[in-house]
Amino acid sequence: MSQQQISLPAKLINGGIAGIVGVTCVFPIDLAKTRLQNQRRGQQVYKSMMDCLVKTVRSEGYFGMYRGAAVNLTLVTPEKAIKLAANDFFRHHLAKDGKGLTVFKEMLAGCGAGMCQVIVTTPMEMLKIQLQDAGRLAVQQQKPVMMTPTKLVATNAVLSRSYNSGMVISAPRAVSATQIAKELLQTQGIQGLYKGLGATLMRDVPFSIVYFPLFANLNRLGKPSPEASSPFYWAFLSGCAAGSTAAVAVNPCDVVKTRLQSLNKGASEETYSGVVDCISKIMQKEGPSAFLKGASCRALVIAPLFGIVQVMYFVGVGEYILDNSPLRLLGP
């Protein structure tokens, strides 16, 4: 089924379901990505993605791999809705006389969609990262670390902080996304939830600029004729290829975003005042290779997500729901 023939409500349903299914399938890899990106040189708790997942299961149990998943599952549908609706809006206004969009205009539409989605993406990522990284900090804090009496040790995200001297061995107290959000709103206002907005824009806008045109052109190669749709397997592979390529391309921005949005720091981990300060300190202390931390994990997360989106479009889940429920009133 051609995407141009799909109504916006059906697209939103397809995107929402694809997001929920995708997050459920690949969230453990996303957790490993966050923890690997937050590791500093000389303080590695995990050696690789598999090592991270194995240690997480051993120390936190199976569901430890899904820390922060509830935030994503709750907000992924509105995030996809905004992104898809914005992309449709910009594509419609950039198209002339029903002609196809040029690659440049496809990139502009993707840019607009990326800028709009950060309204939901930024707070979602902010809350998710605190929960995902808690396990790494707990392991790190259980290792004996000698500290000066004035060294501040964060024992969990925002909510519990104390001054310690001597050995640091306490694990962080369990905390929910709701508690973190309330504390941020009370202490910093709405801007607390939007910390790292600039870095999120730096990641999501280029991602959309790369993904949408790349997918459209890869998918076009598989069409038997200009009017026909590409085969199912070709649309799936195009979504995977475009998603993983875009994910790796913007991984340096994702590392910066993760570091900036991590409220909780380990015993000797530095803080950052902004995007430029973060980039500068990472370059000085860890080198250029640090910007590729978690790149393979991110590719493994994004590729299936966007492949699943194409599956939903091909199967026509959104159309089926609209045609067989009261929601059909929303259709064209």
Average pLDDT over residues 18-28: 87
Environment class of 39 (CB within 10 Å of its CB; exposed 0-12, middle 13-18, buried 19+): buried
Domain boundaries, the chain: 8-39+49-138+175-327
d(CA 31, CA 67): 8
- Name the DSSP class of 272: -
Angle 295-315/8-38 helices, nearest 10 degrees? 170
User: To which residue do tokens 């290829």 refer?
Assistant: 241
pLDDT score recorded for residue 202: 94
pLDDT score recorded for residue 329: 53
For the domain with range 8-39+49-138+175-327, which CATH number is right: 3.40.50.720, 3.90.79.10, 1.10.238.10, 1.50.40.10? 1.50.40.10
CB-CB contact of 12 with 85 (8 Å): yes
pLDDT score recorded for residue 98: 66
pLDDT score recorded for residue 17: 84
pTM assigned to the model: 0.80
Average pLDDT over residues 8-24: 82
Q: Count CB neighbours of 268 within 10 A.
A: 12
CB burial string 296-331: b at 16+ within 10 A, e below: bbbbbbbbbbbbbbbbbbbeebbbebbeeeeeeeee
pLDDT score recorded for residue 121: 92
pLDDT digits (tens, 9 = 90+) for 72-86: 888 888 887 788 788
Return the bridge partners of 161, or none: 154
pLDDT score recorded for residue 154: 39
d(CA 60, CA 293): 23
Q: List the one residue out of 153, 159, 167 whose CA is nearest residue 131.
A: 159
Average pLDDT over residues 239-243: 91
